[in-house]
Structure 1
Amino acid sequence: MPEGPALHRLARLHQRRFAGASVRVSSPQGRFADDAALVDGRVLLRAEALGKHLWHHYDNGLTVHVHLGLYGSFTEAPVPLTDPVGQVRMRMVGAEFGTDLRGPTACEVLTPGEVQAIAARIGPDPLRRDAEPERAWTRITKSRSAIGSLLMDQSVISGVGNIYRAEVLFRHGIHPQRPGRDLTRAEFDAVWDDLVVLMRTGVRRGAIHVVRREHDHGAPAYAKGRPRTYVYRRAGEPCRLCTTPVLHSVMQGRNLFWCPACQVG
C-alpha cells in the first residue's frame, strides 16, 4: 500500500496539472458514473492529501475522495488520451493532461460534512503543516498497545506504512513491541520529528530514503532499484550497525522487522 509521501506527490502533481480549470470526469468502468457526473466539467480548486487519502476539491463544494488501498494506482498521459484499458474507475481530463484511476479501495464524491467526518477520524499527518502531534502523543501515552501497532494505526498517525514504521523505530532504538504508554515524551518527539524529515524526503525524492549517509553501503537494498533499508525486508541478514541478524515476525497481519541488539525490548 502506498505510504503518505506517495499520496502527497500525487496531490502536488494533480494540483499542478489540473487545478484552476475545469476538468472532464468520467467513469469508463461505470462504477463511479453517477458521482463523476456531479463534478464533470467543474473547476478543480485544489488537490491535497491527508495521510493515505487524496482529495480533489471542486468549485461546487463537492470533493472527490480517493483511497488507493493495496491495488489502486493512477496513470498519467498527455491529451488526447487513448481509449481506456482495463477497469478504469475514474478518468480526469484537463487541457494538457489526463489521468486514469484503477483499482482503488475508495473513489467517491463527498459533501463538506462528509469530508470533515473522515478527516476527524484520521490522525495527524507529519507531512502537513497543520498537523497536531499532541493528538498522537495523547493516544500513544494512554495505550497499552505496541508502538509498532500504534504507528500503523491511521487514527493515531496518518501516512505511516510498514517501511516507515520499521525504519523509524530502528533509527531510535525502540523495540516494536514496547507498549505505547512506555515511550517517553522525548522519544515520541524524536520519532515524530524524524518522520517529518524522512517523509518530506520521500515526497521530494519520490522514494523512501531512511539510511543515514554514513551507513548507506554494504549489502544491497531488498529489491532492485530501491534505496537501502536498515531492517525492512532484511530478515536474517546482518544489521548494518551491529551485524546481529535482523528478526522478523507478523504484527496484526503485517510483516515486522527489527534488530534485537539495537532495539532492546
Structure 2
Amino acid sequence: MPEGHTLHRLARLHQRRFAGAPAAVSSPQGRFADAAILNGRVFTRASVWGKHLFHHYDGGPIVHIHLGLYGTFTEAPVPMPLPVGQVRMRLVGTEYGTDLRGPTACDVLDEAQVSAIVARLGPDPLRRDADPAVPWARIAKSGKTIGALLMDQSVIAGVGNVYRSELLFRHHIDPFRLGRDVSEEEFTDAWTDLVALMKVGVRRGKIVVVEPEYDHGAPSYAPNRPRTYVYRRAGEPCRVCSTPILTAVLEGRNVFWCPICQV
C-alpha cells in the first residue's frame, strides 16, 4: 500500500498538471458514476491527508481517492491512448491526462464529508499544521505496542509498514514495546526524523532510510528499491550489528526488527 509521501507527490503532480483549467473526467469501466458531475468543471487544487487524496473542483465537489493495496495512477500526454484495462477514472487536462485503476475508494464528497474523514485521522507529518503533541498524548498512555500505534491512521496519518519498521530501527525501539513505555524524548526524536524522511520520500519519489555508511552489502529487498535496515530482510544480517533480522505479525502486518539494536 502506498505510504503518505506517495500521495503528497501525486497531489503536487496533479496540482501542477491540472489545476486552473477545465478537466475532462470519465469512467471508462463505468464504476465511477459521478464522473459526469465533474466533467467540464475547473480542477481547482489537490490536497492530501495521510493516505487520502482529494481533487477539488469549482463549485464544490471533491473527489476522494484512497489507493488501498492495488490502486495506481498512470500518466500520459494528451492526446491519451484508448483506455487499457479497468480504468476507474480518467482525468484529462490541457496537456496531460491520468488514469486511475484499482483504488479502494473513488467517490465524490462535499466539504462536510471530507471533514468527517479528516476528523478520524491523526496528524499528517507532511502537513505544515501537523501537531506532534496530538499523537504523543495518545501514545504516552496507551497499552498497545508502539509498532501497532504507528500503523494506526487515527494516531499518525500516512505511516505504512516500511516507515514503521525503519523508523523504529533508526531509534532503537523494539516494535513490541508499549506506547506508554516510550519516553517523550524518544517520541520527539522519532517524529522529527519521520518528518524529514517523508520529505525525502516526496522529493525523491522513494523511501530512503539507510545512512550512507550502511548503504552497501546485501542488495535491496526488491528490484529497483532503496536498501532498508530491516524491512523485508528477515534472516539477513543486521547492517549495523550482523544479528539476523526477525519478523512477526503485528496487527495483521509483518513487522521487522533487530533484536540487538532495538531494545
Q: Same fold (TM over 0.5)?
A: yes
Distance in 2 (alpha carbons) for counterparts of 1:171 and 1:181: 19
Cross-structure match for 2:30:
30
Map 1:46-195 → 2, pairs under 5 A:
46-195=45-194
Q: Tell me the alpha carbon deviations over residues 3-58 of structure 1, each in whole angstroms, 9 at most, x when there is no partner.
A: 0111111000000000011101111111112x111211111111111111100111
| Amino acid in the other structure paired with 1:11 | A
Cross-structure match for 1:232:
231
Q: Tell me the alpha carbon deviations over residues 185-232 of structure 1, each in whole angstroms, 9 at most, x when there is no partner.
A: 111111110100000000101111000111111111111211111001
Q: Tell me the alpha carbon deviations over residues 85-139 of structure 1, each in whole angstroms, 9 at most, x when there is no partner.
A: 1111101010011111010000000010000000111111111111111111111
Cross-structure match for 1:8:
8
| Amino acid in the other structure paired with 2:68 | G
Count of residues in Structure 1 that have an aligned counterpart in Structure 2: 263
Name the Cα RMSD after superposition: 0.8
| Amino acid in the other structure paired with 2:148 | S
Distance in 2 (alpha carbons) for counterparts of 1:37 and 1:132: 38
Unaligned runs of 5+ in 1: none
| Amino acid in the other structure paired with 2:191 | W
> What secondary structure sits across from 1:164 in the alignment?
helix
> What secondary structure sits across from 1:151 in the alignment?
helix
TM-score (structure 1 length as normaliser): 0.98
> What secondary structure sits across from 2:21 in the alignment?
coil
> What secondary structure sits across from 1:64 in the alignment?
strand
Share of identical aligned residues, percent? 70
| Amino acid in the other structure paired with 2:158 | G
Structure 1: 4+ residue segments shifted above 6 A: none
Cross-structure match for 1:206:
205
| Amino acid in the other structure paired with 2:106 | C
- Kindly state the Cα deviation for residue 61 of structure 1 after the two structures are TM-superposed: 1.2
Cross-structure match for 2:246:
247
Distance in 2 (alpha carbons) for counterparts of 1:131 and 1:64: 23
| Amino acid in the other structure paired with 1:261 | I
Distance in 1 (alpha carbons) for counterparts of 2:181 and 2:60: 44
Distance in 2 (alpha carbons) for counterparts of 1:223 and 1:84: 29
Distance in 1 (alpha carbons) for counterparts of 2:252 and 2:224: 26
Unaligned runs of 5+ in 2: none
Distance in 2 (alpha carbons) for counterparts of 1:225 and 1:85: 25
